[in-house]
Amino acid sequence: MRKDIIAMVLAGGRVDELSVLTLKRPKAALPLWGTYRIIDFALSNLMNSGIDIVGVLSQYKPYSLIGHIQNGSHWDYIGRGREVRILSPFKGNYDSDWYKGTADAVYQNLNFVSHYDCDDVLIISGDHIYSMDYRKVLAFHREKEADLTIVFKKVPLKEAHRFGIAQMDESQRVIKYIEKPSEPFSDYASLTIYIFKTEILKDLVTYNAHHGRTYQIYSEIIPYMLENGYKVYGYIFEGYWQYARTIQEYWRTNFDILNRDNITILESMNIRTNTNYFEYSDTPPAFISYGSRVQNSIIPPGVRVYGTVINSILSPGVVVEKGAVVEDSIVFGFTHIGQNARVYTTILDKNVQIQEGVVVGEKKSGDDLPITIIGRNTVIPAGTKIEGNCIIYPDLQESDFKSKLITRGSEYKGAGV
């Protein structure tokens, strides 16, 4: 089938820095801002850019991602000539052909690319939060007759060491690129959004598959292209862009939304999500009870508040019972916070049960952010106190808690572990 451009979304990654939040889901499937998942941003951008064919490369615990994407209809990927396809690893010549890196993931799916007879391939990450019209990048790419166009954004120089950093000449041709340089020579950071000429991409990842060591686009393909005189150009993006590589970043990105201007930006981004996934679509509007207090917070449908919610991001189906306090926290879907419980500076994953009178976390003071995280489905028994900076594992039952106190900085996997 003839298409001028197709897209591949790299959504496989699990990052250890996200702790128990990514024990059971890839980063791209993490909830954000109450009703979204991070991959909604990539998928909505693709939809808004009119890109018809999308392959999502996923290998780490893909169920929540597969369930969320479903048949793609929520991003209009349904109908003749439009589709979003999950490209999971498959058995090839060898017993296990797990994706070894981004370049390898593309290499293993070259038959998907070939199927479409396309001039260019857009490769993006599924775990960034931004709104971009990729058609503008494509127009730039075609105008420059580039072999590869990379999207860059200016970042504060002191943060540049965490990104791939490029130097460009006045025509925006990339003349130097170093991944995570210890001494940054520029403040143009790669957003890992690439447009490759299809034929060149095929050649390079095929070569890389036989000669590579890291099998990554950023550490092998880009340097190789620069060394060998390929035309690599940089498109400069200005606008909201965030990611969530660490808990601190995930936290900050979440709280960006408690700001009216950012809500307006979010509305203008035209971000769609799958409202049918699990019970989300069937939740009634939020109910805010008599005698409750809700301030500076995000309240999606299905939330019921009888207590106090301050500076917090709630997800659908969360219940905050009478006398309970939730402050400076992020709460995922269908978590229940019992009477008189108090939750400070904490991330509560999905379906967590906080029983009566439990105290979780510490109030934040100044720059110190003692984030406590409680994993999916865990039940915290009545009267337990969990201090700041703790990590509590998913799926723990009442009987897994032998002590009423979990002290600051603990990583708790259950009794006897």
Partner 1 sequence: MRNSRDTLVMLLAGGVGSRLNILATKRAKPAVPFAGMYRIIDFTLSNIMHSDLEVVGVLTQYKPLSLMDHIGSGEHWNLYGRKRGIKILPPHTGEADSDWYKGTADAIYQNIPFMENYKPDKVLILSGDHIYRMDYEKMISFHEKKGAALTIAAMPVPIEEAHRFGVMVVNESDEIIEFQEKVKNPRSNLASMGIYVFNYRILCEELRNIVGNKKGFDFGKDIIPSMLNRYKLVCYKFNDYWRDVGTIESYHSANMDCLDPSTGLDLYNWGLCTNLQDDRIGDKPPSLFGPASICSNSIVSRGCIIEGEVYNSVLSPGVRVMKGAKVYDSVVFSNVLIESNSVIKRCIIDKHVQIGTDCIIGEGEDTPNREFPSHLSCGITVIGKNVHIPDNTTIGKNCIIYPDVIINNNLPGLVIKSGETIKFT
Q: What residues make contact with partner 1 under the rule CB under 8 A?
A: 33-35, 257-258, 260, 263, 266-267, 270-273, 275, 281-282, 284-301, 304, 309, 314
Judged by beta carbon, residue 173 or residue 272, the one nearer partner 1 is: 272
Judged by beta carbon, residue 284 or residue 366, the one nearer partner 1 is: 284
Contact 96, 66 (CB under 8 A): no
- In the complex, the smallest distance separating the C-beta of residue 326 from partner 1, rounded to whole angstroms, is 12
Nearest to 149 by CA among 212, 235, 219: 235
- In the complex, the smallest distance separating the C-beta of residue 331 from partner 1, rounded to whole angstroms, is 12
- In the complex, the smallest distance separating the C-beta of residue 388 from partner 1, rounded to whole angstroms, is 24
- In the complex, the smallest distance separating the C-beta of residue 295 from partner 1, rounded to whole angstroms, is 6
Judged by beta carbon, residue 49 or residue 206, the one nearer partner 1 is: 49
- In the complex, the smallest distance separating the C-beta of residue 268 from partner 1, rounded to whole angstroms, is 11
- In the complex, the smallest distance separating the C-beta of residue 146 from partner 1, rounded to whole angstroms, is 34
Query: CA neighbours within 13 Å on the CB side: how many for 214?
Result: 10
User: Rounded to the nearest 5°, which phi and psi values hold at 13?
Assistant: -70, 140
CA–CA separation, 65 vs 60, rounded Å?
10
Contact 349, 330 (CB under 8 A): no
Nearest to 220 by CA among 206, 234, 233, 231: 206
- In the complex, the smallest distance separating the C-beta of residue 367 from partner 1, rounded to whole angstroms, is 21
Judged by beta carbon, residue 289 or residue 399, the one nearer partner 1 is: 289
CA end-to-end span of the chain, whole Å?
Answer: 55
Judged by beta carbon, residue 101 or residue 333, the one nearer partner 1 is: 333
Judged by beta carbon, residue 36 or residue 194, the one nearer partner 1 is: 36
Contact 340, 376 (CB under 8 A): no
Report residue 145 CA to chain centroid gap: 31
Judged by beta carbon, residue 168 or residue 309, the one nearer partner 1 is: 309
Strand order in the sheet with 304-305: 304-305, 319-320, 336-337, 353-354, 379-380
Which helix (H) or strand (E) is 98 found in, with range? none
Tokens 């019209």 belong to residue: 133
Q: Which two tokens stand for residue 20?
A: 């128990």
CA–CA separation, 241 vs 252, rounded Å?
12
Nearest to 179 by CA among 149, 205, 214: 214
- Give the burial class of 350: count Cβ atoms within 10 A of its Cβ; 0-12 exposed, 13-18 middle, 19 or more buried: buried
Judged by beta carbon, residue 86 or residue 288, the one nearer partner 1 is: 288
- In the complex, the smallest distance separating the C-beta of residue 263 from partner 1, rounded to whole angstroms, is 5
